[in-house]
Amino acid sequence: MTKKLTCISCPIGCELTVYVEGDDIKVEGNRCPRGFEYAKNEVTNPQRMLTISVKVENGVMDLVSTRTDRPIPKKMLEEAISYIKGLKVQAPIKRGDIIVKDLLNTGANLIATRTVLKK
Ligand code: SF4
């Protein structure tokens, strides 16, 4: 299998070509080793940051914006979204508060990216 990717590990954005044959992975186009790691993860276990709103009770706003503090496996995004949609948190919430610790055992915390005061 051959795959074309753009490395997003730094602003240069090298265009990568990834060759996969069984467990053998070769990468061309990367200017540094981070490009190889990025390409390897993309073809073996792609990860993404998750940004999502969480319902708030007793707050001046009904939702608080959140994000994971590190990428989580792409294959777990759907499960994480449906879990987070079922949550309700109590105001007040401060920017940076941990809303969910170790989200679905991914090692990532879901953190508030804004403050929501109590009504
Ligand atoms: S391969 Fe290295 S230099 Fe190129 S975009 Fe990725 S991190 Fe930046």
Of the residues 4, 5, 7, 27, which should be mutated to test ligand 1's pocket, given the most ligand atoms within 8 Å of the CB? 7
Residue 23 has what pLDDT? Answer: 87
**Arithmetic mean of pLDDT over the chain:** 96
Class of domain 51-112: alpha beta
> How far is C-alpha 70 from the chain's CA centre?
6
Q: How far is CA 88 from CA 56, 85, 116, in A?
A: 5, 8, 13
Q: Where in the chain is the domain with CATH 3.10.530.10?
A: 51-112
Hey, whose CA ends up nearest to atom 1 of ligand 1? 35
Segments in the chain below pLDDT 50: none
Residue with the smallest CA separation from ligand 1 atom 8 is 10
